[in-house]
Amino acid sequence: CVKLCQSIFFQNEAFLVSYGALIGSLECVTDYKSQSNCTWTESEKARQFVSMSLYDISFDEEGHAYHTIGKQSSEGSEYYRVWGGGKVLRKMGSVVHIYFIFDIMSFFFPATHVSVVKPHPPHNLSVKTTDAGNFLLAWETEYARDPTGVLWGAVQYEVSYKRSWETWDDSTFVFLNEDTPQMELNGLLLDPGVEYSARVRAKPRGDQGFRGHWSEWSPSAMWQSATDLGVKLRKLQCVHNGIDKVECSWEVRREVAESVLFNLTLQDGAGSRERTCDLLEPICDSKSLYISYRCQVRGIQVQLSEMWKVHLRPLELRKTICPNYNIKLPPPFNLSVSELLDGNFKVEWKKAELPYPHMQQKYELQFKKQAEAWEFSETRVLDQDTTDMLLPKMLLDSGSSYVMRVRTKMLKTKTLSYDGPWSQWSQEAKWETKSVWFPVVV
Instruction: Answer for the pair 115, 124: CB distance below 8 angstroms, yes or no.
Output: no
Bridge partner residues of 239 (DSSP)? 247
Are residues 435 and 399 in contact, defined by beta-carbon separation less than 8 angstroms? yes
pLDDT of residue 340: 93
At residue 72 the predicted structure's pLDDT band, cuts being 50, 70 and 90, is: low
pLDDT at 415: 81
Q: Where are the alpha helices (DSSP H) in 198-350?
A: 254-257
More confident residue, 242 or 378: 378
Give the long-range contacts of residues 33-38, CB within 8 A, separation 24 or more: 33/88, 34/87, 34/88, 35/84, 35/85, 35/86, 35/88, 36/2, 36/70, 36/84, 36/85, 36/86, 36/87, 36/88, 36/98, 37/82, 37/83, 37/84, 38/70, 38/82, 38/83, 38/84, 38/100
Last residue of one domain, picked from the residues 296, 314, 332: 314
Per residue in 204-240, pLDDT tens? 877 666 677 899 999 999 998 876 555 567 788 888 8
Q: Does 38 score more than 90 pLDDT?
A: no
CB 351 within 8 A of CB 334: no
Give the count of domains, the chain. Answer: 4
Last residue of a domain, one of 175, 194, 224: 224
Q: Which residue has the higher pLDDT, 153 or 173?
A: 173
pLDDT digits (tens, 9 = 90+) for 313-358: 888 778 888 889 999 999 999 999 999 999 999 999 999 999 888 8
Q: Are residues 427 and 394 in the same domain?
A: yes
What pLDDT is stored for residue 16 in this prediction?
41
Tell me, yes or no, whether 346 and 414 share the same domain.
Answer: yes
**Residue 4 within any structural domain of the chain:** no
Mean pLDDT of 179-197: 85
Asked, for residue 258, whether it belongs to a domain, the answer is yes
Please give the residue range of the domain that contains residue 259. 234-314
Give the model confidence (pLDDT) of 363-400 as tens digits: 999 999 999 999 999 999 999 999 999 999 999 999 99
Pick from 200, 224, 248: which residue ends a domain? 224
Mean residue pLDDT across the chain: 78
Asked if residue 277 lies in contact with residue 295, where contact means CB atoms within 8 angstroms, the answer is yes
- Looking up residue 363, the CATH number of its domain turns out to be 2.60.40.10
Strands 221-224 and 195-204: antiparallel
Q: What is the pLDDT of residue 45?
A: 73
Task: Inform me whether the pLDDT recorded for 11 exceeds 70.
Answer: no
Does residue 254 sit in the same domain as residue 353?
no
pLDDT of residue 102: 62
Question: Does residue 70 register a pLDDT over 90?
Answer: no
pLDDT for residue 92: 39
pLDDT tens profile 259-313: 888 888 888 767 777 888 888 888 887 777 788 899 998 887 766 556 778 888 8
Would 6 be classed as within a structural domain? no
Euclidean distance between CA atoms 215 and 276, whole angstroms: 45
| Amino acid 377: pLDDT | 94
The pLDDT tens digits of the residues spanning 308-318 come to 788 888 887 78
**Which of these, 356, 359, 379, lies nearest to 368 by C-alpha position?**
379
Overall average pLDDT of the 408-422 stretch: 89
* Tens of pLDDT, residues 73-92: 555 444 444 455 444 444 43
Same domain? 58 vs 35: yes
What number is the average pLDDT over the span 136-146? Answer: 86
Residues 27 and 70 grouped into a single domain: yes
Confidence of residue 17 (pLDDT cuts 50, 70, 90): very low
Quote the pLDDT of residue 428: 96
- Which of 30-34, 130-134, 191-195, 349-353 shows the lowest mean pLDDT across its residues? 30-34
In a shared domain, residues 220 and 239: no
Distances (CA, A) of 10 to 7, 53, 90, 111, 235: 9, 12, 31, 19, 58
- Give the pLDDT mean for 171-183: 87
